[in-house]
Chains A and B, each alone.
Chain A
Amino acid sequence: MADPLLNFFTLMENQVGVIVRGCLFADPGAGRTRFDRLFLIGRSSVPLCVDALKAAVAEAKRGKDTQRYREAVECLRIAAPSEPLATLDQAWLEAQEMANHMETTRLLTELKGYKNNLIKESIRMGNEDLGKHLESIGDLNAASETYAKMRPDVSTTKQLVDVGKHLVRVSIQRREWGMVSAHLSKLGAAHRGEEEKAVQSYLEVAQGIALLGQEKYKEAALSFLAVDSGVSGSSYNELASQSDVAVYGGLLALASMDRDELQTCVLDNTRFRALLEHAPHIRRAVAQFVAGRYSACIATLESYRPDYLLDLYLQKHVGNIYSQIRSKCITQYLIPFSCVSLDTMSKAFGGAEQPIEDLLADMIRSGALAARIDTIDKLVTTRSANPRAQMQDSVLQAAENYEKQALDRLRRMGLAAADLELKGSKKLGPHGFASQSDLLMEETLS
């Protein structure tokens, strides 16, 4: 069985790009995204592969989407050909496809009937039913179109919010982050009343996921942190669970905020604190970062890295987020020192994949860190800014620029006054040049 597994993961490495080795417990959660999560785990985690794929196949069979069933079985067939579930259940497939087709036709006919009767509410409900059906059979494109058609027949705020939620959900499933934001902005103005808080939380979660998808970590963090813990998780369960929100919010805040901000926006944030209870390790990491225990913070996060690599939304960004957190830790760590030995740094931050020296070199090169490395004595010296020298430099620079600009303007005036500006001549050469006397151009350097 090892051989097919190996083949499977070589294949997946090319497709997904993330492979998690190491044994752990992963909770696929519940709700609509359950299949997606299972499928992702099955394709990325070595120890959980077969189990997750089997669960995914079962989950797919419970639903109506035949395409995802095919995909799951296909994967399982490569990974574990001997499993009984690894062969396509043709009878079920045909029956389900037929049923889907009939249901689509039925709903379309109904919708046609509603349209003939010109009753707005019926048309809206007809569209909604059709949209839900299309979404469940995996035709997301048609589903979002159908949901969009609900909009003209909306009569109450609640309905408008529903339309928005449908569209946002479908867009997230299609990974169209820009569209999510667009739908959200339409929603933002509409909600009010009793359900406001629930809707608000839903909006923030969706917005956070969309921003995360677009790699806008700071904005995403702010969105997640604005989720109200008083609202029950069920209101946004179709997108993410409460612990997911806590993890996303905490991690992104760690990656994008400084210590003061973390203290005020995360730890002292009464609304979010309750959510953090669902992800105690994240709270611990944040607290450690704020307390200046950077190596402990990184160690905590590292131990959960495989988990996050199996997360539906985080997976692609884990590497990025972690390296941002790490470089922030290093920057903060170096602030009180003028000179630190590389060994100490290596103990505190040394990761398996990159030696600390290279990491520091990269950070210095990108301008994130003002320091110099001494590879002979194995030291890192931080460079203190010298405002006086900087000021003097900028003064000289400014004076020089002024002189250069003044001369350039005088020259331009001179050229304009003498009517010497370049004019396109009537006889244009093959390249559209004004004709030029041939110019003697010798090799400039011998």
Chain B
Amino acid sequence: MDQAASVLLDFPPEGGIAGDAQYHAAAQSHSQKLDQLAAAPNFPGFAPQLLDHVHPAVNSNSYLTLLIAARAADRLPQADLLTKVATFLSTFDARQIRYRGKAFSALLDWLVDGSLFPASVAVELLTTALLRLDPAGSVLTSHHVALVKLAYSTDNVAPALPLLEKDVVFYPGVKGLFETRPPCALDLPPASYITAESGLTKLLSSSDVMQYDLLRGLCFIRRRAWRPAFDALERVVTYPTRDTHACSKIMVEAHNKWILVGLLLNGKAPTLPATTPPGVQKTFATLGKAYQAIGKAFEESTAQSLKTEFESVGAQVFAEENNLGLVRLVLQHYQRWQVLNLRQVYTKITLEEVRARTQSAETGAPLASEADVAALVQQMIDEGMLHGAIVRPPGAPAYLSFLPPDEGRSEAEFAQRMAATARRLAQLEPLVRAANERLGTSRDYIKYLAGLQKKEDSGRRDYDVAFMNQIEDEDLMTGVVEGF
């Protein structure tokens, strides 16, 4: 047991390690020792006692090994184990853990299967742990996919938001990369150590990736955060395809929701981004017909066609496609957008006129009374959707006054927003550099470079026969074909 303790406390040595290379060697040998230790038959027996002597933030790898052994032996009281897992996940050393990817993944899987923690805690711990591992959140892992499923299905979206709001740009499973730096290098982009080989993630399939973004979209929809929901769904809609005919059911589902969310967000039907593959666009046109029709009807000046579109398809169909809630919300919001669009024509308008000029898409008719209109407008003002006020002058009908849009943005405010944008753009730089490094060192690209160099080395360019036949004798003198 003492020997085991000395192994466990062996790494990291006190006083620290100077270079990456030494750290790498020490961490690797320590990791092997931990493997041997874990395989020892009596190890699970005394693991729980040792846990108290090992610091989770300093000796993270050892602590992790002990935790797994302790749970396997089932010798620790449940409450104790839970505290320790939680402490570990919120304090572990993200540099060390790169060497124990498989064990770490196993620990995270405990959270997902729901046997340890209630879902709300599990989601929060997973989010913390994954953000500690990769603060930028740029790499998708199998844990992300499991987390979003858990968060969505148990309705614990809020704690997962910090992770879900990150933009994922790297995916595991890249082949033929050469990474010369050891995994512990501090300047190593997360995408280089969060790989299937390191065990920190499993390989993903394209449907996993799409499901992740779709479920993210659904999470945001549940929180009524239309902007991020729209962006998340758009990622699925524009998912790249290799074959012209390939299209996934997930994409169609995302497309349908994407149109509805777009209506709620912008008050008009979104147009498919140019990056949508053409074959997919065709599929959308057939399978998303009802939704595209709704999008079109939403832009009409009367509510009748929207109502007709909805009724011709029927609530049943939307319910089967799990969009009924959204569709109903779209119908509710139609009139709000109509009121909002009056802003482009009027500065002041009586509530009675608002009533006459807008219709509810639920009934296809104007609201019954002026009081209803006032309530609707007031609600819009309260929600911040409408910039205006209801004025009730004595002896005259009440009217809605649209306040002028705050075009007079102050210089300071503008500068501030520009600076914020610049900052966000600067944050992209490490991602770009990482992508550049990764692709620049990939095997195929190097082959291509080598081929190019070879040609240049051979002194002259490679003209094919067809080109040579076109060239007149005079052209030879003007230097069209150098070195010929």
Residues of chain A at the chain B interface (Cβ within 8 Å) = 361, 364-365, 372-377, 381, 386, 389, 392, 395-396, 399-400, 402-404, 406-408, 410-424, 431-434, 436-437, 439-446
**B325:A446 contact, CB within 8 angstroms:** yes
Please indicate the chain B residues that have their CB under 8 angstroms from the CB of A403 in the complex.
Answer: 421, 424-425, 428
**A375:B221 contact, CB within 8 angstroms:** no
Q: Tell which of B207, B221, B246, B247 touches A445, judged by Cβ atoms closer than 8 Å.
A: B221
**B326:A423 contact, CB within 8 angstroms:** no
Answer whether A375 and B349 are a contact pair too, CB < 8 Å, given A365-B344, A434-B248, A440-B149. Answer: yes
Q: Tell which of A373, A392, A406, A423 touches B428, judged by Cβ atoms closer than 8 Å.
A: A406
Q: Interface readout for B345-369 with A: 1 if CB under 8 Å, 0 if not? A: 1111110010000000000000000
User: Among the listed stretches B9-17, B61-69, B103-111, B435-443, which one makes contact with chain A, having 4 or more residues with CB under 8 Å of it?
Assistant: B435-443
Number of contacts between A and B (CB, 8 Å)? Answer: 178
Closest 10 CB pairs of A and B: A445-B325, A424-B246, A418-B171, A410-B169, A389-B407, A424-B243, A418-B173, A422-B241, A399-B421, A376-B348
Q: Tell which of A418, A424, A434, A437 touches B174, judged by Cβ atoms closer than 8 Å.
A: A418
* Whole-angstrom distance between the Cβ of A382 and the nearest chain B Cβ: 11
Q: What residue of chain A has the Cβ atom nearest to residue B167's Cβ?
A: A407
**A445:B346 contact, CB within 8 angstroms:** no
Q: Tell which of A372, A411, A434, A445 touches B169, judged by Cβ atoms closer than 8 Å.
A: A411
Q: What residue of chain B has the Cβ atom nearest to residue A378's Cβ?
A: B348
Query: With A and B bound together, what is the CA distance between A153 and B342 in angstroms?
Result: 65
**A432:B245 contact, CB within 8 angstroms:** yes
Q: What residue of chain A has the Cβ atom nearest to residue B421's Cβ?
A: A399
Q: What residue of chain A has the Cβ atom nearest to residue B261's Cβ?
A: A444
Query: With A and B bound together, what is the CA distance between A186 and B72 in angstroms?
Result: 91
Please indicate the chain A residues that have their CB under 8 angstroms from the CB of B439 in the complex.
Answer: 413, 417
**A444:B326 contact, CB within 8 angstroms:** yes
Answer whether A392 and B409 are a contact pair too, CB < 8 Å, given A412-B240, A432-B245. Answer: yes
Q: Tell which of B206, B319, B424 touches A421, judged by Cβ atoms closer than 8 Å.
A: B206
Please indicate the chain B residues that have their CB under 8 angstroms from the CB of A421 in the complex.
Answer: 206, 239-242
**B409:A389 contact, CB within 8 angstroms:** yes
The answer to the question of B484 belonging to the interface, with a C-beta cut-off of 8 Å to chain A, is no
Query: With A and B bound together, what is the CA distance between A361 and B425 in angstroms?
Result: 42
**B432:A406 contact, CB within 8 angstroms:** yes
**B348:A400 contact, CB within 8 angstroms:** no
The answer to the question of B46 belonging to the interface, with a C-beta cut-off of 8 Å to chain A, is no
Q: Tell which of B207, B329, B409, B424 touches A436, judged by Cβ atoms closer than 8 Å.
A: B207
**6 extra interchain contacts, Cβ-Cβ under 8 A, other than A414-B168, A415-B240, A419-B174?**
A373-B346, A413-B439, A414-B171, A422-B247, A444-B322, A445-B325
Query: With A and B bound together, what is the CA distance between A415 and B206 in angstroms?
Result: 9
The answer to the question of B33 belonging to the interface, with a C-beta cut-off of 8 Å to chain A, is no
Q: Tell which of B231, B243, B353, B432 touches A375, judged by Cβ atoms closer than 8 Å.
A: B353
**B418:A415 contact, CB within 8 angstroms:** no
**B204:A389 contact, CB within 8 angstroms:** no
Q: Tell which of B152, B153, B210, B235 touches A411, judged by Cβ atoms closer than 8 Å.
A: B235
Query: With A and B bound together, what is the CA distance between A105 and B442 in angstroms?
Result: 83
**A361:B345 contact, CB within 8 angstroms:** yes
User: Among the listed stretches B52-60, B249-257, B375-383, which one makes contact with chain A, having 4 or more residues with CB under 8 Å of it?
Assistant: B249-257
* Whole-angstrom distance between the Cβ of B413 and the nearest chain A Cβ: 9
* Whole-angstrom distance between the Cβ of B373 and the nearest chain A Cβ: 15
Q: Tell which of A364, A396, A406, A434 touches B418, judged by Cβ atoms closer than 8 Å.
A: A396
Please indicate the chain B residues that have their CB under 8 angstroms from the CB of A372 in the complex.
Answer: 344-347
Q: Tell which of A377, A411, A412, A439 touches B348, judged by Cβ atoms closer than 8 Å.
A: A377
Q: Tell which of B152, B173, B396 touches A420, judged by Cβ atoms closer than 8 Å.
A: B173
Query: With A and B bound together, what is the CA distance between A386 and B407 in angstroms?
Result: 8
A and B contact pairs by CB, cutoff 8 A, 18 listed: A361-B346, A376-B350, A406-B425, A406-B432, A407-B428, A410-B428, A411-B167, A414-B169, A418-B204, A419-B174, A420-B204, A420-B209, A421-B239, A422-B248, A423-B206, A423-B243, A432-B247, A437-B207
The answer to the question of B431 belonging to the interface, with a C-beta cut-off of 8 Å to chain A, is yes
Q: What residue of chain B has the Cβ atom nearest to residue A377's Cβ?
A: B348
Query: With A and B bound together, what is the CA distance between A29 and B90 in angstroms?
Result: 95
**A420:B399 contact, CB within 8 angstroms:** no
* Whole-angstrom distance between the Cβ of A384 and the nearest chain B Cβ: 10
Query: With A and B bound together, what is the CA distance between A361 and B345 in angstroms?
Result: 6
Answer whether A381 and B209 are a contact pair too, CB < 8 Å, given A411-B235, A422-B239, A445-B325. Answer: no
Query: With A and B bound together, what is the CA distance between A434 and B243 in angstroms?
Result: 11
Please indicate the chain B residues that have their CB under 8 angstroms from the CB of A433 in the complex.
Answer: 247-249
Please indicate the chain A residues that have their CB under 8 angstroms from the CB of B133 in the complex.
Answer: none
**A441:B253 contact, CB within 8 angstroms:** yes
Query: With A and B bound together, what is the CA distance between A443 and B326 in angstroms?
Result: 9
Please indicate the chain A residues that have their CB under 8 angstroms from the CB of B173 in the complex.
Answer: 418-420
Please indicate the chain A residues that have their CB under 8 angstroms from the CB of B204 in the complex.
Answer: 418, 420
Please indicate the chain A residues that have their CB under 8 angstroms from the CB of B249 in the complex.
Answer: 431, 433, 436, 439
The answer to the question of B170 belonging to the interface, with a C-beta cut-off of 8 Å to chain A, is yes
Q: What residue of chain A has the Cβ atom nearest to residue B422's Cβ?
A: A399
The answer to the question of B275 belonging to the interface, with a C-beta cut-off of 8 Å to chain A, is yes
Query: With A and B bound together, what is the CA distance between A413 and B438 in angstroms?
Result: 10
Please indicate the chain B residues that have their CB under 8 angstroms from the CB of A417 in the complex.
Answer: 171, 174, 438-439, 442
**A389:B408 contact, CB within 8 angstroms:** yes
- Which residues in chain B, 92-119, are within 8 Å of chain A measured between CB atoms? none
The answer to the question of B156 belonging to the interface, with a C-beta cut-off of 8 Å to chain A, is no
* Whole-angstrom distance between the Cβ of B326 and the nearest chain A Cβ: 6
Query: With A and B bound together, what is the CA distance between A444 and B242 in angstroms?
Result: 31
Query: With A and B bound together, what is the CA distance between A361 and B343 in angstroms?
Result: 11
The answer to the question of B238 belonging to the interface, with a C-beta cut-off of 8 Å to chain A, is yes
* Whole-angstrom distance between the Cβ of B285 and the nearest chain A Cβ: 14
Answer whether A444 and B257 are a contact pair too, CB < 8 Å, given A418-B173, A422-B239. Answer: yes
Q: What residue of chain A has the Cβ atom nearest to residue B273's Cβ?
A: A408
Q: What residue of chain A has the Cβ atom nearest to residue B244's Cβ?
A: A424
**B322:A443 contact, CB within 8 angstroms:** yes
Which of B248, B319, B329 gathers the greatest number of chain A CB atoms within 10 Å? B248
Please indicate the chain B residues that have their CB under 8 angstroms from the CB of A395 in the complex.
Answer: 418
Please indicate the chain A residues that have their CB under 8 angstroms from the CB of B235 in the complex.
Answer: 408, 411
* Whole-angstrom distance between the Cβ of B243 and the nearest chain A Cβ: 4
Query: With A and B bound together, what is the CA distance between A422 and B428 in angstroms?
Result: 26
Q: What residue of chain A has the Cβ atom nearest to residue B413's Cβ?
A: A392
Query: With A and B bound together, what is the CA distance between A411 and B140 in angstroms?
Result: 11
Please indicate the chain B residues that have their CB under 8 angstroms from the CB of A404 in the complex.
Answer: 231
Query: With A and B bound together, what is the CA distance between A414 and B231 in angstroms?
Result: 18
Answer whether A413 and B326 are a contact pair too, CB < 8 Å, given A408-B275, A424-B246, A440-B153. Answer: no
Please indicate the chain A residues that have their CB under 8 angstroms from the CB of B326 in the complex.
Answer: 444-445
Please indicate the chain A residues that have their CB under 8 angstroms from the CB of B240 in the complex.
Answer: 412, 415-416, 421-422
Query: With A and B bound together, what is the CA distance between A441 and B254 in angstroms?
Result: 11
Query: With A and B bound together, what is the CA distance between A441 and B217 in angstroms?
Result: 12
**B248:A375 contact, CB within 8 angstroms:** no
Please indicate the chain B residues that have their CB under 8 angstroms from the CB of A410 in the complex.
Answer: 169, 428, 431-432, 435
**B250:A436 contact, CB within 8 angstroms:** yes
